[in-house]
Chains A and B, each alone.
Chain A
């Protein structure tokens, strides 16, 4: 009954509504209010502020009920759900169709089953995008070009292994320190989705070479805490699920706007600011793939070889 409903549900995201990520979260909240006729009232907390900004604590907090709902990243949740490292396997997904083949196919269902065993109810897949490489030193087209570059990475051990295998020096640094470090040359490069490159104006901190190498992608997951889900009426659960599916579909479109398919307006904007944008061909990507084979094999064991095999098959049949 409505008596058990909270007056407000807390929705956590990493980025705010200046980014497709935050827009997707806000859209979900708005659609829920609309579809449940105001019975469920959701407030978005960007910047993972509910866990003091520590993104890797988001999933635990969600499971424990500090957070009611989230649009979370597979990378941030991988310390709690090791299977989510799948999307960070280097050069697994060659294009957007490959991401869709995983998230909208059997692999996506398997991962949702795994999440469902951890007190959360996963509802839909969104997208933060392929992570692209930028640096201040030179154009990167081959693994050889990457040798000796100091690249700031997120802390995950898999990312560090990948960069080390490619001959780069991975530097782990908080984003607060990373920007001055890039400006002054303490680090040479970084890797992030293009939306972040654009919003953080990384060309102003000497990031003048951008390589579109699609080495890993970061899908987003729309989830609700299990106890919160169980407290809702069947009708409202259906409404929240539909709202998530609609918001996620719109969010993926937003995330690809200007950088994928026919529409490359955002890329043109970046190159008009004097950034050399390098698009790798399939053959060029294969050279990078080859250099990271051992990392791929090592982490496949952690993730589960059956799941990795299934993912490769889905991508082959996309």
Chain B
């Protein structure tokens, strides 16, 4: 049994390090152990199928699609103009605008890379014109985009809830709101400090002057979207899964009939992009369930968790260890994969220490949000660097400060659980 557990983890690690697609590395390691130990080979196709064929997972392609549509519909561009007028222009102001717009867009989109892509496409050119180094802009937007998996709706919370049924999607969504806002605001401090120190941005003469009211009127459709999505869920108009389709419909209506900025050809591209991004995520989820099946049938995860519990370390030390583990994993893996690989190991610990599964989900997701912009593997940075045309290595000197800023927000939520739990409790979830 121990040999099998070593084969499972070793084969996965080997394939992963050689650059095999992550899902294939997980699935093949699981399949190898299932065949080797004669655990029942039909678990391979069955786990793949049932791992994907889950109703709550329907929200993933829909929230990804919603984010893509809002970008193409010109909603993001109008939000930027409005927020810029509100904030004014001074050293660092555009960085602050990028963070705030990413947070509003995060209230529509459920995925970090989708949010980062939307904001980067709209803001990077303007930031470069204002004198921000592209690597710095790419870092800011990647970090701000990570708030999308904390601020509801969130694909990450949906997957967490599927794996941890006692934490419901509405409770997680509510619990993520304040930590998400806190994480976003924490980024503003180092951004302004760095911009002042190096003299990025400042008063801009080139931009077109429109009144604040007109800008507000144009941005209103974007500002209303999170209100409609979250309010609709709260009011019982739709279930979390249906909220995603409401977001898509709203975005299509705004793009086609109000801003009239979407063409049929755009629509084709938007659907193809969202379909591919979702497929990549869903396939990892499906193949990872083969890995999870093999691991849980071998009892591999229980044994590891037991050995941690048997150390009899105080809970806060275990929590720090878990956070270090998550941070390490977050440097190399994306949020979805980390849930799938580590939750089977971590949940027995959460039960043993009687932690609130909703709070733990928020802490874990904050960690993974940080991971989305921590090199080397940082999905958000990959997206923003592609738009900015800079290599990821160049962002390290900037991004490190943003990582530290969001980590301090994480520490606050870990020490004061009510930052996360107050809202879901007062809403009665």
Binding site for B on A (CB under 8 A): 7-8, 10, 43, 45, 47, 49-54, 57, 60-61, 64-67, 173-174, 176-177, 179-181, 183-186
B147 at the interface (CB under 8 A from A): no
Given A53-B54, A177-B55, residue A61 in contact with residue B169 (CB < 8 A): no
- With both beta carbons as reference points, the residue of chain A lying nearest to B286 in the complex is identified as A52
Could you show 11 A-B contacts with beta carbons less than 8 Å apart? Answer: A50-B297, A61-B40, A61-B42, A65-B40, A66-B39, A67-B40, A173-B55, A180-B170, A184-B234, A184-B236, A186-B238
Complex-state Cα separation, A54 to B45, whole angstroms? 13
Specify which chain B residues have a CB less than 8 angstroms from the CB of A61 in the assembled complex.
40, 42-43, 46
CB distance from A151 to the nearest CB of B (A): 15
Complex-state Cα separation, A66 to B54, whole angstroms? 20
Q: Are B40 and A176 in contact (CB under 8 A)?
A: no
Q: Are B165 and A176 in contact (CB under 8 A)?
A: yes
Binding site for A on B (CB under 8 A): 1, 39-40, 42-43, 46-47, 49-51, 53-56, 161-162, 165, 168-170, 233-241, 289, 293, 296-297, 299, 428-429
Q: Are A181 and B239 in contact (CB under 8 A)?
A: yes
Given A50-B293, A186-B236, residue A177 in contact with residue B56 (CB < 8 A): yes
CB distance from B298 to the nearest CB of A (A): 9
Question: Told that A57-B46, A60-B46, A176-B168 touch, could you supply 19 new A-B pairs with CB distance under 8 A?
Answer: A8-B299, A10-B297, A51-B46, A52-B49, A53-B54, A54-B50, A54-B53, A61-B46, A65-B42, A66-B39, A66-B42, A174-B56, A176-B161, A177-B241, A179-B168, A180-B168, A180-B240, A181-B236, A186-B236
Task: Give the total number of A-B pairs whose CB atoms are below 8 A apart.
Answer: 82
- With both beta carbons as reference points, the residue of chain B lying nearest to A64 in the complex is identified as B42
Q: Are A184 and B235 in contact (CB under 8 A)?
A: yes
Specify which chain A residues have a CB less than 8 angstroms from the CB of B40 in the assembled complex.
61, 64-67
CB distance from B361 to the nearest CB of A (A): 14
Q: Are B53 and A180 in contact (CB under 8 A)?
A: no
- With both beta carbons as reference points, the residue of chain A lying nearest to B39 in the complex is identified as A66
Q: Are B297 and A176 in contact (CB under 8 A)?
A: no
Complex-state Cα separation, A152 to B333, whole angstroms? 38
CB distance from B107 to the nearest CB of A (A): 19
Q: Are A173 and B50 in contact (CB under 8 A)?
A: no
Complex-state Cα separation, A185 to B236, whole angstroms? 6
Given A176-B169, A180-B168, residue A66 in contact with residue B234 (CB < 8 A): no
Q: Are A53 and B50 in contact (CB under 8 A)?
A: yes
Specify which chain A residues have a CB less than 8 angstroms from the CB of B55 in the assembled complex.
173-174, 176-177
Q: Name the prevailing secondary structure of the B interface residues.
A: helix
Q: Are A176 and B56 in contact (CB under 8 A)?
A: yes
Specify which chain B residues have a CB less than 8 angstroms from the CB of A64 in the assembled complex.
40, 42
CB distance from B290 to the nearest CB of A (A): 10
Complex-state Cα separation, A7 to B37, whole angstroms? 11
Specify which chain A residues have a CB less than 8 angstroms from the CB of B43 in the assembled complex.
50, 61, 66
Specify which chain A residues have a CB less than 8 angstroms from the CB of B165 in the assembled complex.
47, 176
Complex-state Cα separation, A52 to B1, whole angstroms? 22
CB distance from A200 to the nearest CB of B (A): 11
- With both beta carbons as reference points, the residue of chain A lying nearest to B171 in the complex is identified as A180
Specify which chain A residues have a CB less than 8 angstroms from the CB of B169 in the assembled complex.
176, 180
Specify which chain B residues have a CB less than 8 angstroms from the CB of A7 in the assembled complex.
1
Specify which chain A residues have a CB less than 8 angstroms from the CB of B50 in the assembled complex.
51-54, 57
Complex-state Cα separation, A180 to B168, whole angstroms? 8
Most B Cβ at <10 Å: residue of A50, A176, A184 = A176
Most B Cβ at <10 Å: residue of A43, A45, A52 = A52
Specify which chain A residues have a CB less than 8 angstroms from the CB of B42 in the assembled complex.
61, 64-66
Complex-state Cα separation, A179 to B166, whole angstroms? 11
- With both beta carbons as reference points, the residue of chain B lying nearest to A181 in the complex is identified as B239
Specify which chain A residues have a CB less than 8 angstroms from the CB of B297 in the assembled complex.
10, 50
CB distance from A150 to the nearest CB of B (A): 11
- With both beta carbons as reference points, the residue of chain B lying nearest to A56 in the complex is identified as B50
Complex-state Cα separation, A67 to B293, whole angstroms? 12
Complex-state Cα separation, A49 to B168, whole angstroms? 18
CB distance from B1 to the nearest CB of A (A): 7
Specify which chain B residues have a CB less than 8 angstroms from the CB of A176 in the assembled complex.
55-56, 161-162, 165, 168-169
Q: Are A173 and B46 in contact (CB under 8 A)?
A: no
Q: Are B46 and A52 in contact (CB under 8 A)?
A: yes
Complex-state Cα separation, A215 to B299, whole angstroms? 41
Specify which chain A residues have a CB less than 8 angstroms from the CB of B51 in the assembled complex.
52
Given A54-B53, A66-B42, residue A177 in contact with residue B239 (CB < 8 A): yes
CB distance from A15 to the nearest CB of B (A): 12
Complex-state Cα separation, A65 to B47, whole angstroms? 14
Q: Are A52 and B236 in contact (CB under 8 A)?
A: no
CB distance from A194 to the nearest CB of B (A): 21
CB distance from A83 to the nearest CB of B (A): 24
Q: Are B46 and A177 in contact (CB under 8 A)?
A: no
- With both beta carbons as reference points, the residue of chain B lying nearest to A10 in the complex is identified as B297
Complex-state Cα separation, A168 to B144, whole angstroms? 47
Complex-state Cα separation, A190 to B162, whole angstroms? 21
- With both beta carbons as reference points, the residue of chain B lying nearest to A43 in the complex is identified as B299
Q: Are B47 and A52 in contact (CB under 8 A)?
A: yes
Specify which chain A residues have a CB less than 8 angstroms from the CB of B240 in the assembled complex.
177, 180
Specify which chain B residues have a CB less than 8 angstroms from the CB of A67 in the assembled complex.
40
Most A Cβ at <10 Å: residue of B42, B51, B240, B296 = B42
Complex-state Cα separation, A8 to B239, whole angstroms? 41
Specify which chain A residues have a CB less than 8 angstroms from the CB of B296 in the assembled complex.
45, 49
In the complex, the 7 A-B pairs of residues with the closest C-beta atoms, listed nearest first? A184-B236, A52-B50, A66-B40, A174-B55, A64-B42, A54-B50, A185-B236
CB distance from A56 to the nearest CB of B (A): 10
Complex-state Cα separation, A186 to B428, whole angstroms? 16
- With both beta carbons as reference points, the residue of chain A lying nearest to B42 in the complex is identified as A64
CB distance from A247 to the nearest CB of B (A): 23
Specify which chain A residues have a CB less than 8 angstroms from the CB of B241 in the assembled complex.
177
Q: Are A186 and B239 in contact (CB under 8 A)?
A: yes
Complex-state Cα separation, A261 to B40, whole angstroms? 44
Specify which chain A residues have a CB less than 8 angstroms from the CB of B39 in the assembled complex.
66
Specify which chain B residues have a CB less than 8 angstroms from the CB of A47 in the assembled complex.
165
Complex-state Cα separation, A181 to B429, whole angstroms? 12
CB distance from A244 to the nearest CB of B (A): 21
Given A52-B289, A64-B40, A66-B40, residue A180 in contact with residue B239 (CB < 8 A): yes
- With both beta carbons as reference points, the residue of chain B lying nearest to A7 in the complex is identified as B1
CB distance from B158 to the nearest CB of A (A): 10
Complex-state Cα separation, A49 to B40, whole angstroms? 15
CB distance from A22 to the nearest CB of B (A): 15
Specify which chain A residues have a CB less than 8 angstroms from the CB of B49 in the assembled complex.
52
Specify which chain B residues have a CB less than 8 angstroms from the CB of A185 in the assembled complex.
236
Complex-state Cα separation, A76 to B11, whole angstroms? 36
